[in-house]
Every structure is written in C-alpha cells, then in structure tokens.
Amino acid sequence: MAVDILISEVGLRDGLQSIEAVLPTERKKAWIAAQHAAGAREMEVGSFVPPKLIPQLADTAEIVRFARALPELCVAALVPNLHGLRDAVECGVHKVSLPFSMSESHSIRNLRKTHAEVFAEIGRCIDFLRAVPAERRPRFDISLSTAFGCTIEGAVPEHRVIAFAERVIELGADEVCLSDTTGYGNPAQLKRLVTGVRHACGADRLEGVHLHNTRGQGLANALMAVELGVTTLDSSLGGIGGCPWAPGASGNIVTEDLVFLLESMGLDTGIDLEALMKVRELVQEALPEIELFGFTPAAGLPLGFEPAHESSG
Ligand code: ZN
C-alpha cells in the first residue's frame, strides 16, 4: 500500500521518554498493534540506550521483536552510538536514527561527545553496518537535532547544518532528517534548510523531518515540508510527553491533527482517523495521569468529512 505521506509515529520513543511514568510492556504492545491496525506503517518504538539512563525504554529489544511481526510496518529505533546500533541490528530494527546535535554544547551535554567525536562514532557505525549482510542491514539515518536552534546556544548557523549533512552522507549514512528538537523552527527557515540540505546531498537523502509544536508552529512547518516534497513526517499520538519547558504545549506535533490536516487536503496517509481516536483512548487509559494534546480529538471530525485514504483505496 503506497501512501502520499508516511507518518512516522514517535510517541513510544520521544513521547514516553519525556514522562516519568513507565508504560508496561504489554500496554506498549497493545498501542503498537492498535495503531498498526489503524494504518500506521512506520513507528519508532524505542531507543537502545542503557536502561538506567531512560528506564521508560528499557524494554526496547522486546518491543522491537514484537513490532517486527506486524506486516508492512517499518520498525524504527534510536541509537546513540555503535553499542546501541549493534543491539538494534541484533533485534532486527528496519531503520535506525542516530541523533547528531548541531549545537556542540547540546551534543556534549546529551551524548557527551564533541562534534569531532560524533563524526568518528558515525564512521565506526558505518564500518560496522558495511559488514552486516544486506538483508539484515537497517537503513541508517542521521537525525540532525537542534537544527533549528538550541536552548543552550540559541541560533544554530544554517551553513553548519548543511555542511554536516553533506559530511555524514559522504561518510556513508543513508539519509539525514532535520530535527526541530526545541520547537524554534519556522516555515521560512525550514524551507532554507530543506532546500540547502537537498542541494548539498541530493533530494533522496532528505525524506523526513521531525518537528515539535512547542510554539504552535508544528503544523505550519509540516505543511511547508510537504510543499517542498518531504514525504515522511514524525509525530506523536496525543503529542504525548508535552514539553518540559513550555507547560501546556505538546512535544511533537500531534499525530491526530497531522493526519486530519493531510487527509482533509486529499493526501493519503493510510491512517483511519476514527481508528486512531480509539488508539488515543487506549493510551489515555494506560496513562491516566498524562495530558494528551490535540485539537481534532477535542472537536471531533467535521460533518461529512471524507478522508483521502478511502477515496484512493
Ligand atoms: Zn523530538
């Protein structure tokens, strides 16, 4: 089933790592199964980091094995380094993302690595992947985090983002993803970055963007990305996790609102919105203390709403 826009659900990783509560493994499996049944075809289900750093994602290996059994689902996971990458390959992840913070202070604080050290680690990861048989080798994506600005350094030079994207592609990464980790981005900036990175690396090397809605610009940025031909958008069910430094704001863009935006414009996401609302209920039931975000779930679908994915079959 081909879709116009692939929505990559990141709630199980970006969302769950931002809340204190630990969602039990069985509840995570129920969430993944339900969202897959609603039409999701890519989900980032966890992160291969030491459990003591992010206990919420300690069951990632088991979750990956479960998700891999679902037909036509691209199972994605985050890895911070070669060690995590080895574990991810062992579990059979289809797509791995390694976050590379474009702000060096942020990189040192989060990954405890300077920029030079991250480039070296990426090189080691690529050497390792080259030795993995093709049928077991995941797609290797470098997520250019804080590409739109950093909470420690402020503005991040766009020429640096573009030059670093070019360098990781030269090293052998399959693709790069522009990540608005801090929700600083605006559509004009997104246009410059997408255009610049594609010019430097080739259009097929940048297929996805990862947006946050910290300042309410998430859907505006998503729409600009779609206009530029970006085909993969990350989002999180219910914007789960919120934003630690902006109370009342969602973290990632809300999957329900994003699906509504795209489907109402006639773009097929493959996702059934009514089924997605049921997934939301399931997750809210499992995490009763957590605030879920989203306008479409609150207002309901418009009378006579016709989703794109039904007309296109
Ligand atoms: Zn994020």
pLDDT one-digit tens code per residue, 156-192: 999 999 999 999 999 999 999 999 999 999 999 999 9
Whole-angstrom CA distances from 245 to 70, 100, 155, 212, 250 are 36, 21, 18, 13, 11
Contact (CB, 8 A) for 273 and 254: no
Domains and CATH numbers, the chain: 6-311 (3.20.20.70)
Q: What backbone phi and psi angles, to 5 degrees, belong to 97?
A: -120, 130
DSSP one-letter string for 204-271: GG--EEE-B-TTS-HHHHHHHHHHTT--EEEEBGGGTT--TTSTT--SBPBHHHHHHHHHHTT---S-
For residue 125, the CA-to-ligand 1 centroid distance in Å is 22
Return the beta strands (E) in the chain as ranges. 6-9, 42-47, 74-78, 95-101, 139-145, 175-179, 208-210, 232-235
d(CA 180, ligand 1 centre) in Å:
7
Q: What confidence tens digit (pLDDT) does each residue in 216-243 have?
A: 999 999 999 999 999 999 999 999 987 7
Q: Which regions of the chain are under pLDDT 50?
A: 313
- Residue whose tokens read 């879709």: 3
In this prediction, residue 245 carries a pLDDT of 66
What's the CA-to-centroid distance between 211 and ligand 1, angstroms? 7
State the distance from the centre of ligand 1 to the C-alpha of 81, rounded, in angstroms. Answer: 18
- What is residue 249's predicted lDDT score, i.e. its pLDDT? 73
CA 179–ligand 1 middle distance (angstroms): 7
- CA–centroid distance, residue 178 to ligand 1 (Å): 10
Give residue 137 CA to ligand 1 midpoint distance, Å. 24
Q: How many CB atoms lie within 10 A of CB 199?
A: 11
| Site of tokens 């919105």 | 273
Ligand 1 midpoint to CA 223 (Å):
18
Confidence (pLDDT) at 2: 86
Centre of ligand 1 to C-alpha 69, Å, is 26
CA of 303 to the centre of ligand 1 (A): 33
Hey, which residues are catalytic here? 243
pLDDT reported for residue 1: 55
Q: Which of 250, 263, 264 is CA-nearest to residue 295?
A: 250
**Residue 54 C-alpha to ligand 1 middle, in angstroms?**
15
Between CA 165 and CA 177 the distance in angstroms is 9
